Structure 1
Amino acid sequence: MASSPTQPSPAEIARTLSAGRLPGTAYVAHGLGPHQVRHATDAQGRVLLLVSVVSDLARALRPGAGAETAVVLDVPDLPPAAGSPALGRVWISGWAAPLTGAEARQAALDFADTDPTGDLLDVGRGFALHRFEPAEVRLETGGAVLRIDPGEYVVAEPDPLHPVEREIIVDLTRRHAPRLTELFSRHLADRASGTPPRLVRIDRYGMVVALGRPGPERTARLVFPRPVRDRADLVRLLQPVLRPGHAPAGAAVHRVGRS
């Protein structure tokens, strides 16, 4: 039986960052910019851009009738709290084309899955949707820039906890701080003396825990026995170890080393 992954792959991180819940910037070939843009990705990993028809970005995306335009979408991660490590930054390049008719209607539904903004109701009048397939995907993480195969990017899935990561961390820290400290301490023997370990990131595969005071701190990754599907699945997984009066269950997480 193949072992379960212990952390998100570069392709999964790229899909997570580009999903549409983080602010993005578009760079258009031969045009002024950069441009702040609302974006999303559909199930096939294609990038959707929601653009006001009277904006500079709209003008930059109309080089000629029926023509496609070279675009780079830049999306940096926004860590859930001060001191949390960032996942990195993704750049996705491709050739954008405007959508009309049935394609625009379907793209609006796909966009609404991520961001159900009311401006989608005005697509075809005050707003337009442009779409491009990823021709090149680059991920900056850990001080290096990785080139990701577009095919791997397309089949990867965004992390289901990322949209609510901050809420999860705040909730766990407020409601279960003593139990979390007890759980972390059982797995983190090298933590700084007198400084409780702190939960700083969480994803479908596990948790990142900070060791030591903010600034010179180190981090370690604690891995779930299986990837979680959503927030409710995470609650079911952690409930036995966070329930008051219940003995910590070592099977809830295991350490895989420094993050």
Structure 2
Amino acid sequence: MPTGGHGGERVVPHLHHVHASGSVSLLLADGHPLVERATEAEVAVMFELADCAPIDLREPVRGLLWITGWLRPLTLAAARARAVAISETRTDPRLLDLGHGMTLLRLTPASLVLADAEGTQSLRPYMFSAASPDPFHSYERNWLRHLESDHPDVVEQLARHVPEELRGGKIRPLGLDRFGLRLRVEAESGDHDVRLAFAKPVHSPPQLAAELRRLLGCPFLRGR
């Protein structure tokens, strides 16, 4: 997490949690210099969150989210309430250190930037909070691992949609969302990401299976 106004130093919190509103909760040691600065006045920071692929790639990062805003510590009462809210979606024993050598801070977002191989998009906080989770967000990890480990033949057939100049590289499943399937090509020239677009957005495993069969039998490509 690069901080503003002090040389852009990087700070790695003990715990972080991005809320649906776009705000970020950060757990730091009580005596950390950033906690002391934020106690005196709001500190401008940029929080960087890496989206890593669920399979073992030579370059695991497939996207980045940068949240820029203002950092302030929470009162102990507010911090405990926020910790309870976090624990309802993810249990983490580090939250128990709150008030016992650890301080919880809130990053209030001013802007967000999302970047991957397909481009960069700027978001206002209200746009982020209004977005709904992709229907495959809880399904993607296991599905991609299953595709990688148990169905290399399917990945090989999908490889025919990859641009010809990249077909000598190793083809790996990279991502899944309602709009399509992403592949990572690990070539000698570097890593290249290709999207295989669905004919229409899908919202369920049966629809996904139908689109996958279509891709296996009928070439359709949208890559960047």
So what's the TM-score if we normalise by structure 1?
0.64
Q: 2:11 aligns with which of 35, 46, 52?
A: 35
Give the CA deviation at 1:76. 3.5
**Aligned equivalents of 2:27, 2:143: Cα separation in 1:** 29
**Aligned equivalents of 1:117, 1:166: Cα separation in 2:** 20
Match of 1:5 in 2: none
Flag the structure with higher strand content. 2
**Aligned equivalents of 1:30, 1:83: Cα separation in 2:** 33
Identity %: 25
Alignment of structure 1 residues 173-252 onto 2, 5 Å: 173-182=148-157, 184=158, 188=161, 191=164, 195=168, 198-205=171-178, 206-210=180-184, 213-215=187-189, 219-224=193-198, 225-228=200-203, 233-234=204-205, 236-238=206-208, 249-250=213-214
Structure 2: runs of 5+ lacking an equivalent: none
Q: Which amino acid aligns with 1:98?
A: P
Q: 1:70 aligns with which of 37, 44, 50?
A: 44
In the comparison of the two structures, how many residue pairs are matched? 219
So what's the TM-score if we normalise by structure 2?
0.72
Q: Which structure would you say has the larger RCO, counting Cα contacts within 8 Å and 6 or more residues apart?
A: 1
**Aligned equivalents of 1:147, 1:193: Cα separation in 2:** 30
Q: Which amino acid aligns with 1:46?
A: S
Q: Which amino acid aligns with 1:181?
A: E
Residues 214, 175 of structure 1: CA spacing in aligned structure 2 closer, same or farther, 3 A cutoff? farther
Pairwise CA RMSD of aligned residues? 3.9
**Aligned equivalents of 1:103, 1:145: Cα separation in 2:** 34
**Aligned equivalents of 1:207, 1:95: Cα separation in 2:** 36
Match of 2:28 in 1: 51
Q: 2:64 aligns with which of 82, 86, 89?
A: 89
Q: 1:169–1:199: 8 Å Cα contact kept in structure 2?
A: no
Residues 39, 161 of structure 1: CA spacing in aligned structure 2 closer, same or farther, 3 A cutoff? farther
**Aligned equivalents of 1:105, 1:210: Cα separation in 2:** 41
Residues 192, 102 of structure 1: CA spacing in aligned structure 2 closer, same or farther, 3 A cutoff? same
**Aligned equivalents of 1:151, 1:91: Cα separation in 2:** 15
Structure 1: runs of 5+ lacking an equivalent: 1-24, 242-247
Match of 2:95 in 1: 120
